[in-house]
Structure 1
């Protein structure tokens, strides 16, 4: 069973389960502050925090001591096995997990919760339609198999988005590379075929083009445009390995406007032109299967 609700509770609201629960509890705070205690582990939940409590541990939660209210989505369900890997870096002990800070994707996560509420109520007739109006105070229980699986898919999206976003920020802090430079690198890697320029990348990270170019070169050891070309060549190599697209199409999808320039740059990077590279990959794969 999957149960989902959206509450906005005033000071004095509290829940105490001395024996814990037989399901997982997921909470996403949208306003105010909550305080959750799982076993001996306390967690403060502010707006944008995903807090997860595993089953089988005594827990209690309430509006934060200094807060006037606590607005939050909550879900009781059995977690999918794959989620434990995503949540593990955010373990606080006693099967409590606090995924924070999560910022920049709150709108997408809120949409997923609205969709989850609609999916939990789905009867199998027509398409589930998320309610765009106020959801505070609403509770839904997914009884049907399809409704449960759809609801869990939305929750899986929420857990993945939250853990990946918070994890990426932690990685940037620990790498020693300026977070703005890492963000620019991630933009290149995520969509190397886009028409990136020094000016557009600098604008994305709120730096002047000259400052961005200097900072990037200082931290990475090569210019932004050189790094972009390397990202495009890596993308092209993946497309050659995994698809049957012609080399001209691979070049265009990887951000190269000239097939001739693409072929020359690819040969310099990988030691053979695109067609020969693809043939070599296929031959090696065929040999390994034998």
Structure 2
């Protein structure tokens, strides 16, 4: 590590691995089992502890606590890890906890995420790439957020919930069931209210695929049979890769039911 890039007030326990290009600001505390990658920056008063890896180019802002033990009464001190990918922005007062034995022991954060002030990522959560978690939102234990998900401010995601790729959760929303890819969820008790059309258009998704997604949503909302039956039938009828992604998500393994279209 380069002493020139580490503030003299920082406390770094013996055994910590810090890349020479990393910048460690005033009053940061880094535990013995932490690995800090290239070009990482810790602003000031940041705590990184436990078996935690921080990927290249990630910036962690003041008063964040990263890698502490899970907030789970079943946790008995077993191996608990947190793996954070590259180029994440982790803002003030964010908390991210390590995993538990019952959840595989690892909490994973992908690349290029933005975790705004005061949000929480609980034990054993798996967060994809380019995810945005807005101020004071909470992601409970064992959740899966796929790539390009946005979770609005002051929202809560119940444990074991899966949120499919490209979905958006509105502000002040409680989500207790799985959300299909590209879904739009809003209202205090989380209702599936449509598709994230704005996000699809911003990513340059072809008009034909958006049309197919809209038709698929209508079929899921109003077709015959159960939600699962409609998804199976949809999988046999569609040629759109985006629609097939929704079908695969619905037919996949889950510990929870789905938010279904109103």
Instruction: Determine if the TM-score, normalized by the shorter chain, exceeds 0.5.
Output: no
Structure with bigger helix share is 1
TM-score w.r.t. length of structure 2: 0.32
Structure with bigger strand share is 2
Q: Which has the higher contact order (CA 8 A, sep 6+)?
A: 1
TM-score w.r.t. length of structure 1: 0.30
Q: Which has the larger radius of gyration?
A: 1
